Amino acid sequence: PPSQLSIGPPGDRLTVKGGLRGYRMARASHGVDGGSYFYEVIVQEPENMETTPMKEFQLPSTNLRLGEELKKDIILSDNTHVPKAGHLRMGWSMRTGDLQAPVGYDRWSYGLRDIMGSRIHASRREDRWGGVPFGPGDVIGFAIHLQPLQSSAFGSIMNASNPLNTNAIHNDYDAQGPASKKKKRGSGGGHKNVEFINHIRFFKNGKTMGSGFVSSRGVRSGGEAFSGIEDGVYCPAVSSYMGGCVRANFGPHFVYPIPPSQLPTGMKLRPMSSRCPNPMTPEEAIERAMKEKSITKKTDESLVTAFKAAIRIEAKYKYDAREEFMKRHVEEIRKERQARKMNTNDLPVPVVDTVVATNTCSEGSKEGAASGEDVEMKDATNTL
What mean pLDDT is predicted for residues 107-131? 96
Q: Rounded to an integer, what distance in angstroms lies between the CA atom of residue 108 and that of residue 167?
A: 21
pLDDT digits (tens, 9 = 90+) for 7-27: 988 777 899 998 877 899 999
Percent helix, strand and coil across the chain, each to the nearest 5: 20, 25, 50
Interstrand relation of 35-43 and 270-271 (parallel, antiparallel or unpaired): parallel
Q: Mean pLDDT over all residues of the chain?
A: 78
End-to-end CA distance of the chain: 20
> Beta strands of 149-197 (E only): which ranges?
none
* DSSP reduced 3-state for 216: strand
Interstrand relation of 24-28 and 235-241 (parallel, antiparallel or unpaired): antiparallel
338: phi > 0 → left, psi -120 to 50 → alpha, else beta; which? alpha
Q: Rounded to an integer, what distance in angstroms lies between the CA atom of residue 39 and that of residue 334?
A: 17
What mean pLDDT is predicted for residues 94-111? 96
Cα-based angle 45, 276, 145 (whole degrees, multiple of 5): 75
Sign of the alpha-carbon torsion through 158, 162, 163, 167 = negative
Identity of the residue numbered 365: S
Percent of the residues in the chain that have a pLDDT greater than 70, as a whole number: 68
Task: Choose between 300 and 104: higher pLDDT.
Answer: 104
In the 8-state DSSP scheme, what is residue 218? T
What band does 340 get if pLDDT is binned at 50, 70 and 90? very high
Specify the pLDDT at position 120.
98
What mean pLDDT is predicted for residues 231-238? 97
Specify the pLDDT at position 163.
40
pLDDT digits (tens, 9 = 90+) for 154-210: 334 333 334 443 333 233 322 222 333 333 333 333 455 567 899 999 999 999 999
Which of 178-192, 292-306, 319-333, 343-357 is predicted most confidently?
319-333
What mean pLDDT is predicted for residues 118-122? 98
Contact 86, 93 (CB under 8 A): no
Contacts of 93 (CB under 8 A, 6+ apart): 25, 27, 103, 108, 109, 110, 234, 235, 237
Q: Rounded to an integer, what distance in angstroms lies between the CA atom of residue 313 and that of residue 134?
A: 46
Contact 267, 64 (CB under 8 A): no
Contacts of 252 (CB under 8 A, 6+ apart): 271, 273, 274
Specify the pLDDT at position 242.
83
Among 149-163, 218-232, 280-294, name the one with the lowest average pLDDT: 149-163
Please count the residues of the chain. Answer: 384
Q: Rounded to an integer, what distance in angstroms lies between the CA atom of residue 96 and that of residue 213?
A: 32
pLDDT digits (tens, 9 = 90+) for 31-89: 999 999 999 999 999 876 555 544 444 444 444 455 565 555 555 445 555 555 689 99
pLDDT digits (tens, 9 = 90+) for 76-85: 445 555 555 6
Number of helices (H), then strands (E), belonging to the chain: the values are: 5, 23
Specify the pLDDT at position 164.
43
Q: Which helix (H) or strand (E) holds 147?
A: none
CB atoms within 10 A of CB 203: 23
What mean pLDDT is predicted for residues 334-348? 96
What band does 249 get if pLDDT is binned at 50, 70 and 90? very high
Report residue 363 CA to chain centroid gap.
Answer: 35
Specify the pLDDT at position 183.
33
Task: Choose between 303 and 225: higher pLDDT.
Answer: 225
Residue 105 CA: distances (Å) to CA of 63, 179, 210, 217, 338: 22, 37, 21, 39, 37
